[in-house]
Structure 1
Amino acid sequence: MTKEEYILNIVFDLGGVVFNWQPDEIIKSVFSDIRTRQVVKNEIFGHSDWVELDKGTLTLEQAIDRGAIRTRLPRSDISNLMKAVPGFLTPIHESIDLLHFIKTTTDNNLFVLSNMHFASIAYLEKEYSIWELFDGIVISCRVQKVKPDIDIFQHLLGKYSLLATETVFIDDTDVNLLAAASLGINTVKFENVTQCRESLSELKCI
């Protein structure tokens, strides 16, 4: 990295990085049968409708209706599942500490770039007071673009006038990191907070 290519902007994903994301635990909270859990995992969390929810092009009620038809499970069960999702997005406290550390000890700008449904982001914004730490926030359902599509990364860079070479993106999913890297954005795969801190230190941004 040359003198001109130092990091100014650190972009965090939310689910799996700042907040816990454990679909299996959500499913277990509603369904006890193991086979049913697998069907639900495939037909709800693994279905393209989930992406449409992230994109903001499918309503929650539509997703519940369609999910009930696909799984042949009671609509009330699918509704309970979907409405349980936001509450399972609990903070990863060490990540919150890292955000505060970056904000108070460096001059770097902090951003969010996350795939998330309307209900989930509304819940998180109401329940937690971390949002003032960020200089900009891009949520998929609000811009009708999703990772790993290149468009959402270009939207982030354009909206906040960021240079890719001065930006690092932290995510827990390889395909999202590859998409960011294709635009010249530096990337860190999030495995745990200690490893993330070390990676940011190696990039000389903390």
Structure 2
Amino acid sequence: MRNIVFDLGNVLFKFDPDEILDGLFKDPLIKRKLKEAVFKTSIWKELDRGTLSFEEAKKIFIEKNPDLKEEIDILLKDWKNYLHPITENIEILPELKENNKLFILSNFHKEAFNYIRGKYSFFDIFDGMIISYKEKLLKPEKEIYQLLLNRYNLKPEETFFVDDIVENIMAAEEVGIKGILYTDPESLRELLKRIGAL
């Protein structure tokens, strides 16, 4: 029995700030400013860590960028609607579940996670989930991987972690978890076949 652990953003769900901004705004300058003012900030990371509430973060974003107040309001209200499942990867979950245990390990903040968790029933297939905001930990901090192993009593040598960011994979490998760097659905399926999970 293997343990297959999935990241959410850009592995099971599309998360592309540029696509979100393109969907909500026309002005290239506004889009560029919002990307820097929201998505590329330490505040966004603190949302993922669960040390800032959504309302607190919004207040800080607007205080730092008063000229973008209206746009920040729109962005923070609507961005989660652009979190779409990556269908090919969702479709392999039942097949994987036949011979493996499935887990989620992801940096995600409360409002966005509650939104997708409530909207999609495939979350029920997982045997456990470590979501950053609940634990006050973030990938690639070693403690979040250790927490996954300890909470679900997993052996690292039997555990495979699928993530799209090299640093997160490297951190997992430091605690003995085997890393699978995600690039696209076809490659993922091949790699899972190669390790005998499919």
Q: TM-score range by the shorter chain?
A: over 0.9
In 1: Cα distance, 2:136 partner to 2:77 partner: 21
1:142-175 Cα deviation digits (max 9, x unpaired)? 1111111111111111100111111000011111
Partner of 1:77: 71
In 1: Cα distance, 2:135 partner to 2:17 partner: 24
Percent identity, please.
37
1:66-102 Cα deviation digits (max 9, x unpaired)? 1123333342321221121221111111111111211
CA shift, 1:205, in A, is 1.9
Q: Structure 1: state its 5+ residue gaps.
A: 1-6
Partner of 1:48: 42
CA shift, 1:133, in A, is 0.7
The answer on whether the counterparts of 1:30 and 1:77 sit within 8 Å (CA) in structure 2 is no
Q: Structure 1 runs of 4+ off > 6 angstroms?
A: none
In 2: Cα distance, 1:40 partner to 1:165 partner: 42
Partner of 1:137: 129
1:91-106 matched pairs, under 5 angstroms: 91-103=85-97, 106=98
In 2: Cα distance, 1:122 partner to 1:76 partner: 25
Does residue 62 (structure 1) correspond to residue 56 (structure 2)? The answer is: yes
Q: Which amino acid in 1 is paired with 2:167? A: V
TM-score by length of 2: 0.95
Q: Structure 2: state its 5+ residue gaps.
A: none
Equivalenced residue count is 198
Query: Secondary structure of 1:170's match?
Result: strand
Which stretch shifts more, 20-29 or 148-157? 20-29
TM-score by length of 1: 0.91
Query: Secondary structure of 1:85's match?
Result: helix
Partner of 1:107: 99
Query: Secondary structure of 1:9's match?
Result: strand
Q: Which amino acid in 2 is paired with 1:136? A: G
Cα separation, partners in 2 of 1:70 and 1:31, compared to 1, 3 Å: farther
The answer on whether the counterparts of 1:164 and 1:186 sit within 8 Å (CA) in structure 2 is yes
Question: Higher helix share goes to which structure?
Answer: 2
Query: Secondary structure of 2:85's match?
Result: coil
Partner of 1:3: none
Does residue 33 (structure 1) correspond to residue 11 (structure 2)? The answer is: no
Q: Which amino acid in 1 is paired with 2:12? A: V
CA shift, 1:197, in A, is 0.9
- Aligned Cα RMSD in Å? 1.3
The answer on whether the counterparts of 1:39 and 1:71 sit within 8 Å (CA) in structure 2 is no
Q: Which amino acid in 1 is paired with 2:107? A: N
Does residue 172 (structure 1) correspond to residue 158 (structure 2)? The answer is: no
